[in-house]
């Protein structure tokens, strides 16, 4: 795996991931557990935020204590499944800004087609964390990262639940400067671009839209 790849294999995350993988997990529980995992993964994705100091008074004395400073956070959801990770991240950092990117792959031309792009301004001043539960072929994540860079983002990370080795390789080849944070590295992609063993279609699982 490239040095930019971080696996967060905390026992609680692995346990919760098994709940998501189970085919009999209901939609409501799927969403709740996804939110919980996003919170913990978000701790890893934000672990290098710059800290300054602030002078405060505790009930007993005055002193200097750590306080976040510097880059402001922006989470960017790659639609639609990325939305499932946003609530957990906002539980962690309620003041963060949120962007959305919609990209699909044209079945005829196989080109990435953007249908929605909305982000906060001044991306160059922000730590931008792109989120999508599944890093499969990486085509949409690669396009989304290109667009965010075009809009000025300089400090980017990519956070997902499951990554396929093929997706990690393709994403790192296209954006070696963007660290990837994942909860699991699965075995492979199938012929339809689904991750094995995986959890199925993340959007369908979280919104109950299958069939």
Residue recorded with tokens 């944070």: 181
Q: Which of 34, 134, 182, 183 binds ligand URA (CB under 6 A)?
A: 134
Comparing CB distances to ligand URA, the nearer of 29 and 190 is 190
| Tokens standing for residue 56 | 């405060």
Closest distance to ligand URA from the beta carbon of 198 (Å) = 4
Q: Site mask, ligand URA, residues 29-58, x = CB under 6 A?
A: ------------------------------
Q: Which of 136, 144, 145, 206 binds ligand URA (CB under 6 A)?
A: 136
Length of the chain: 211
For 188, phi and psi rounded to 5 degrees?
-170, 175
Distance between CA 36 and CA 45 in Å, rounded?
Answer: 14
Q: Site mask, ligand URA, residues 65-84, x = CB under 6 A?
A: ----------------x---
| Tokens standing for residue 83 | 């939305």
Comparing CB distances to ligand URA, the nearer of 126 and 205 is 205
Q: Which of 39, 104, 117, 194 binds ligand URA (CB under 6 A)?
A: 194
Cis ω on the peptide bond leading into residue 166 (within 30° of 0)?
Answer: no
For 179, phi and psi rounded to 5 degrees?
-65, 145
Which part of the chain contacts ligand URA (CB under 6 A), choosing from 14-22, 93-101, 104-112, 188-196? 188-196
Taking every pair of Cα atoms in the chain, the longest distance, rounded to a whole number of angstroms, is: 68
Comparing CB distances to ligand URA, the nearer of 152 and 203 is 203
According to DSSP, the β-strands at 155-163 and 134-135 are: parallel
Comparing CB distances to ligand URA, the nearer of 151 and 194 is 194
What number of helices (H) and strands (E) belong to the chain? 6, 12
Q: Which residues bind ligand URA (CB under 6 A)?
A: 81, 134, 136, 193-195, 198, 201-203
């Amino acid at each position: 795996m490239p040095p930019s790849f971080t696996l967060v294999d905390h026992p609680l995350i692995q346990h919760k991931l098994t709940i998501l993988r189970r085919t009999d997990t209901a939609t409501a529980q799927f969403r709740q557990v996804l939110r919980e995992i996003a919170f913990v993964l978000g701790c890893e994705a934000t672990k290098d935020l710059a800290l300054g100091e602030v002078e405060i008074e505790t009930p007993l004395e005055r002193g200097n204590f750590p306080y976040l400073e510097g880059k402001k956070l922006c989470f960017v959801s790659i639609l639609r499944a990325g939305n499932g990770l946003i609530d957990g991240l906002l539980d962690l950092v309620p003041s963060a800004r949120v962007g959305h990117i919609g990209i699909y792959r044209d079945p005829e031309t196989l080109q990435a087609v953007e249908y929605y792009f909305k982000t906060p301004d001044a991306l160059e001043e922000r730590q931008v964390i792109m989120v999508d539960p599944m890093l499969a072929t990486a085509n949409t994540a690669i396009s989304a990262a290109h667009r965010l860079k075009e809009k000025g983002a300089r400090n980017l990370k990519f956070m997902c639940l499951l990554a396929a080795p093929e997706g990690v390789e393709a994403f790192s080849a296209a954006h070696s400067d963007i660290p990837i944070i994942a909860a699991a590295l699965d075995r492979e992609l199938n012929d339809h671009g689904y991750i094995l063993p995986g959890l199925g279609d993340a959007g369908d699982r979280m919104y109950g839209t299958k069939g």
